[in-house]
Amino acid sequence: MKILLSNDDGIKSLGIFASYEAVKSLGETIIVAPNTQQSAIGRALTLFKPLRIDLTSLKDDMKGYSVSGTPADAVTLGIFELLDEKPDLVISGINIGENIGKGELTSSGTIGAAMEAASFGIPSIAISQQVTRGDIKFSDGNIEIDYDLAKKILNKIAKNVLKKGMPEGADVLNINIPSHPESDEILITQLGHRMYNPIIETRFDPRGKPYYWIGGSPFEGDEIKTDGHGLKILKQPTITPLTLDLTSDLKSVDGWLQSNF
């Protein structure tokens, strides 16, 4: 079995080391990740400048391949340049900070990397660890976090995927681990509404011209059976099966077109 690990926090992140520790016993494991923090880059690919791959020394004499691009770039180069054949599993994470809800789904670099792999027919897992401080979420990944439950669950889910394949209809399994879990029972959830309510902060440069920061406040009001409710209210690990097929109901569109305007 071959397993490819990537992330959007950068190759030096302690989260990707935790992933390695969780699954290294399940097969030959290779790390290919961006060389810098790439949060919120989504599934972007680098098309207008060259990419570089560097073999990099990591923690505990580990080595990984550092890519001067996005998470999706790293996964693509890992699959089609560094490996002789497609891996049996791609894991993106463990990300520092949760990835929940429909609102930020496609802006997540963690999920973007998993979706890129899934688009090539490769079973894929995105896994994220909730944190309660924004400065940790957007750090370089070297802040110590308790990954014990995340590693335990990742090992279990990865073992299942390698043995039985993906659940029917699922292309990506999106896993989120609470920062202070009240149970290790995994909840099967659907996507909630969103993760943040956007906040635009206006500032002014020395010449008086405005510039803007996009931020957000945590979204409240997660419905029962959603990832946000399970993670934040019940404080349990969640798993949400995702599909790449974003096609809506064809029949409803046909009726809409045929109706009188």
For residue 150, give its domain range.
2-193+221-258
The whole-angstrom separation of Cα 150 and Cα 121 is 25
Q: Tell me the backbone φ, ψ of residue 237, rounded to 5 degrees.
A: -65, 145
Average pLDDT for the chain? 94
Structural domain total, the chain: 1
Q: Burial of 83 by CB count in 10 Å (0-12 exposed, 13-18 middle, 19+ buried)?
A: middle
Give the sign of the dihedral formed by CA 57, CA 58, CA 61, CA 64. negative
* Region of poorest pLDDT, from 44-48, 131-135, 213-217, 225-229: 131-135
Confidence of residue 259 (pLDDT cuts 50, 70, 90): confident
Q: What is the pLDDT of residues 96-149, one digit of tens each?
A: 999 999 999 999 999 999 999 999 999 999 999 999 876 677 666 677 889 999
Residue 212 lies in a domain: no
Residue 7 lies in a domain: yes
The CATH code of the domain that includes 236 is 3.40.1210.10
pLDDT for the residue numbered 39: 92
CB 96 within 8 A of CB 129: yes
Residue 20 lies in a domain: yes
Residue 201 lies in a domain: no
- What does pTM read for this prediction? 0.94
Q: What is the pLDDT of residues 2-35, one digit of tens each?
A: 999 999 999 999 999 999 999 999 999 999 999 9
| b/e burial code for range 203-216 (CB count within 10 A of at least 16 → b) | eeeeeeeeeeeeee
Residue 255 has pLDDT above 90, yes or no: no
The H-assigned helical ranges of 24-144 are: 71-77, 109-118, 134-137
Q: What is the pLDDT of residues 187-209, one digit of tens each?
A: 999 999 999 999 999 999 999 99
Residue 205 lies in a domain: no
pLDDT for the residue numbered 261: 64
The whole-angstrom separation of Cα 145 and Cα 129 is 9
Residue 86 lies in a domain: yes
Residue 229 lies in a domain: yes
Which residue from 125, 134, 130, 160 is spatially nearest to 145, judged by alpha carbons? Answer: 130
Residue 198 lies in a domain: no
